[in-house]
Amino acid sequence: MIRKYLYGVAAFVLAFVILSVSVLRSSSVSPAYGYSTPPPISKSTEIPLPEINYFLPYPGGVHPDNFLWYFKALRDRAQYSITSDPLKKADFALLYADKRLGSSLILFENGKPDIAVTTLVKGEKYLEVAAKDEERAREAGINTNDFLIKLANASLKHRQVIEEKIMPLSPEDIRPEVVKAEDYAKEIYKTCRDTLNSKGIETPKNPFNGQ
């Protein structure tokens, strides 16, 4: 009987100790994580750009720093070369531009700026190829209105990624090359805008202060 009583007292004391420790820990929580004093809200002077209506495709798992990249690039060139429809060629060129933009960003994030900027410039040149193919398709009597809108949105999205994500990761010495790559996107948007305006079609809005 006494043994049971002692066991009961010991259990009570142990429970009391555990409860006391829990209360003490709760009372010592840092205000930054408590509910009474919320953490300060960080203030940023930068105003985010409106969402641009364009989805960038997944760039894949093979990038220019991989020995398999040569075969991937060779496949792209073959795919483009055997396509006769100029509008389909334009679509392929835009796809290559999009994927190389993604690869470039990944390379910058992985600390490989030299190969990243080369990939970026080559990729943005594909925007120019897409625009030239669109022009050929238009001259052949093909309706390219939807593609022009798509290409305009793509050029805006490319510019956004370059300014907001790639430029902050770029070492000072290669920033002029990054700016050069961005210029392709700027010029292609203007080309699409002028062509669409000549047809009386509304152009995707440029959120970069009209620049």
Per-residue pLDDT tens for 150-188? 999 999 999 999 999 999 999 999 999 999 999 999 999
The per-residue pLDDT for 208 is 86
The stretches of the chain forming alpha helices (DSSP H) are: 2-27, 69-81, 86-109, 113-139, 145-161, 175-198
**Which tokens in the block code for residue 89?**
């060629």
Q: Compute the Cα dihedral for 154, 156, 160, 163 and give only its sign.
A: positive
Mean pLDDT over the full length of the chain? 82
| Cβ–Cβ < 8 Å for 196, 203 | yes
On the CB side of 157, CA atoms within 13 Å amount to: 20
pLDDT digits (tens, 9 = 90+) for 78-113: 999 999 999 999 999 999 999 999 999 999 999 999
pLDDT above 90 covers a percentage of the chain that reads 72
- Give the lowest-confidence range in 76-80, 124-128, 207-211: 207-211
What pLDDT score was predicted for residue 57? 95
* pTM, 2 dp: 0.76
Q: Where are the domains of the chain?
A: 1-37, 69-198
Instruction: Using a pLDDT cut of 70, give the percent of the chain over it.
Output: 75
Angle of the 145-161 helix axis to the 175-198 helix axis, nearest 10: 160
Average pLDDT rounded to a whole number, residues 61-74: 96
**Mean pLDDT in residue range 141-153:** 97
Please state, as a whole number, how many other Cβ atoms lie within 10 Å of the Cβ of residue 58. Answer: 8
Burial of 166 (0-12, 13-18, 19+ CB in 10 A): buried
What is the arithmetic mean of pLDDT over 51-57?
90
- C-alpha span between 31 and 12 (Å, rounded): 32
